[in-house]
């Protein structure tokens, strides 16, 4: 961690956006958008940190998963007003339910803690089975601080994608992409950012992957996104001829770098 910078604390970051997604039959991905409210720069450790699951009555029903030890060697410096992108993966129990849960995300090594209610694909609270006579249920989970960006840049935008969970082979997947400018500064869209879509389908052990690249409809957005503006962009992507369970990843790119992305589970059928 940079010696000249203090460690970010709980009061230094505010949650401005979140997107819950199921990324497989068991795994959920929670994308978090934070904004620095500090008056001076601070640093976040870029390392995998645990995610705890807690019952509505405050009882911890998911024991903390030890860190994998994998980490990025340098810390993330966060300037005042910057937008911070972070994410968390967690795996709930899929059995019978008795307790509605929330998750506690540890952002940074011994840094801020986010106590968040959990939704299942944005529709209903997931529940966790608690065995009779037991108050603890082990569930895997970890979080990671990804990047920080200045307001007014393409990298500060957030995206979330939705489309049908199933599609027929050879048909087009119409992905509805919500692009948000959660900052208080307008984001110019000149040059117009591109997007990249990847569809990976597993008919067996080896996936079949297809790519599609295009540009946002920046003219419809008047060449800029105003502060707090939210727009929806529809992109059609061929599903391919291979049937099976798959994952669709939609990424907004700046040059050759993916600055924000979202991924969803999708099934291609005959």
* Cα dist from 206 to 8, 187, 210, 267, whole Å: 42, 40, 13, 16
Single out the residue of 270, 261, 247, 250 nearest to residue 25, CA to CA.
Answer: 247
Find the mean pLDDT for residues 219-242: 86
pTM: 0.76
For residue range 132-180, what is the model confidence (pLDDT) as tens digits?
Answer: 444 444 455 778 888 899 999 999 999 888 776 788 888 888 888 889 9
Rounded Cα–Cα distance for residues 30 and 103 (Å): 10
Rounded Cα–Cα distance for residues 219 and 189 (Å): 9
69: region left, alpha or beta (phi > 0 left; psi from -120 to 50 alpha) = left
170 vs 50, more confident = 170
Task: Name the token pair of 168.
Answer: 């027929």
């Amino acid at each position: 961690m940079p010696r000249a910078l203090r460690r970010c604390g709980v009061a230094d970051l505010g949650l401005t956006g979140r997107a819950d997604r199921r990324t497989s039959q068991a795994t959920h991905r929670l994308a978090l958008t934070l904004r620095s409210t500090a008056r001076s720069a601070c640093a976040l450790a870029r390392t995998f940190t645990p995610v705890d699951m807690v019952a509505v009555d405050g009882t911890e029903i998911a024991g903390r998963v030890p860190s994998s030890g994998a980490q990025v060697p340098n810390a993330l410096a966060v300037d005042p007003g910057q937008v911070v992108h972070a994410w968390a993966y967690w795996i709930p129990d899929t059995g019978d339910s008795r307790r509605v849960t929330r998750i506690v995300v540890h952002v940074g090594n011994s840094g801020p803690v986010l106590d968040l209610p959990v939704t299942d694909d944005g529709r209903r609270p997931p529940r966790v089975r608690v065995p009779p006579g037991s108050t603890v249920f082990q569930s895997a989970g970890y979080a990671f601080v990804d990047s920080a960006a200045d307001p007014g840049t393409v990298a500060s935008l957030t995206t979330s994608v939705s489309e049908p969970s199933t599609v027929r082979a050879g048909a087009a997947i119409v992905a509805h992409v919500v692009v948000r400018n959660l900052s208080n500064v307008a984001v110019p869209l000149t040059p117009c950012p591109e997007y990249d879509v990847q569809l990976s389908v597993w008919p067996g052990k080896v996936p079949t992957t297809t790519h599609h690249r295009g540009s946002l409809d920046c003219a419809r957005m008047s060449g800029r996104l105003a502060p707090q503006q939210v727009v929806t962009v529809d992109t059609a992507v061929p599903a391919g001829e291979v049937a099976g369970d798959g994952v669709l990843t939609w990424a907004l790119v700046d040059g050759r770098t993916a600055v924000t992305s979202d991924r969803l589970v999708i099934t291609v059928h005959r």
